Amino acid sequence: MSTPVLEARDVSMVFGGLKALKNVSLQLEEGKILGLIGPNGAGKTTFFNCLTGLYTPTTGSVLLKGTTLPGDPAKVTTAGVARTFQNIRLFPSMTVLENVLVGRHVRMKQGPLASLFHGPAYRKGENAAKERSRELLEFVGLSGLEDELARNLPYGDQRRLEIARALATDPAVLLLDEPTAGMNPQETEAARQLIFAIRETGVSVVVIEHDIKFIFGLCDQVSVLVQGELLVEGTPDVVRGDPRVVEAYLGKPPDEVEAEVASVVEEQQHRGAQEGQA
C-alpha cells in the first residue's frame, strides 16, 4: 500500500481532566477528499488543531508523507499542510492581493539582506509572488478584486479569499473547517465545485462540515467523531447506512437520511446529463 499523504496515529488530546480526543486515527490518501463530521463538541476542530500544530497532541503523532510533523504551525505550513478556519481569519484592513501574499511569503526564499535593501533578488521574488497570487485569485473566482479591502468583500468571497491564501502556501494537504457555513445554496454549490477543482490540482483535502448533504456529495471517504472518538469511517454509502451514525449524529430516521442522499445522487445524475448534452 502507498504511504498516506496525511496520517494521524492514535491522537489524544487532554485539557486538564477533559479528554477531548481519544486515540483518533485517520489516513488521507493522495488525491482524495475526506469528510470529518460529528455533532457539536465532538472534537473536530480540536483534531484539526492537532493536525496543524496549533495543539501538540497529548499522545499520538501526525505524519505528512510518512514524516512526523513538528508541533509548530509555521513549520507545519512550510512542510505542506494549510488550513482555513471556522471563523474567517483574514486581515480586514489589507487588500485582497495582500492577504494572499501573506500566504505566499512562506515560499519566498529571499534572505534578510535582499529584503532589507530591496535588491534585484527581492524585487524578482516579490513580482513572482504577486503573479502567483493573482493566478490563485482567478482560480477561486476573485479576479479583478485584488485592490479591494478584505473587509468589504461579501461573506462568500471572504471564504474564497481565505482558501486562496491557504493555497498560496503550495500545500500538499488543505484542511477546510466548515467552508460552507453561512452560505446560501448557490454559494454552497460553488464551494463544492471549487473543492473539486482544488483536488484536480493535486491537493488532497480534509473537510469539516455540518451539511451532510454537502459532505455525501463531495467526499471519497467520511470519518465520524463522537465525544472525541472515531465512531465509524468509510465511503459515504457505508457511513450513511450505519445506524450508530444516524443515532449519534444525524438525529433523524434512516429513511429521511436516505431521502437526502437520494436527492444528492439525483442532482449529480441530472448535472451529468446536462454536461453530456452540452
pLDDT tens sequence for the chain (278 residues): 578 999 999 999 999 888 999 999 999 999 999 999 988 888 999 999 999 999 999 999 999 999 999 989 999 999 999 999 888 889 999 999 999 999 988 766 654 444 454 556 667 768 889 999 999 999 999 999 999 999 999 999 999 999 999 999 999 999 999 999 888 899 999 999 999 999 999 999 999 998 888 999 999 999 999 889 999 999 999 998 888 887 765 555 445 545 554 565 566 567 666 766 66
Name the residue with cell 460552507. Answer: 180
Beta-carbon contacts of residue 161 (< 8 Å; ≥ 6 apart): 90, 96, 99, 100, 137, 140, 142, 150, 153
- Sheet hosting strand 6-15, strand order edge to edge: 18-28, 6-15, 59-64, 67-68
The structure's pTM equals 0.82
C-alpha–C-alpha distance, residues 202 and 33, integer Å: 11
E strands in 38-152: 59-64, 67-68, 81-83
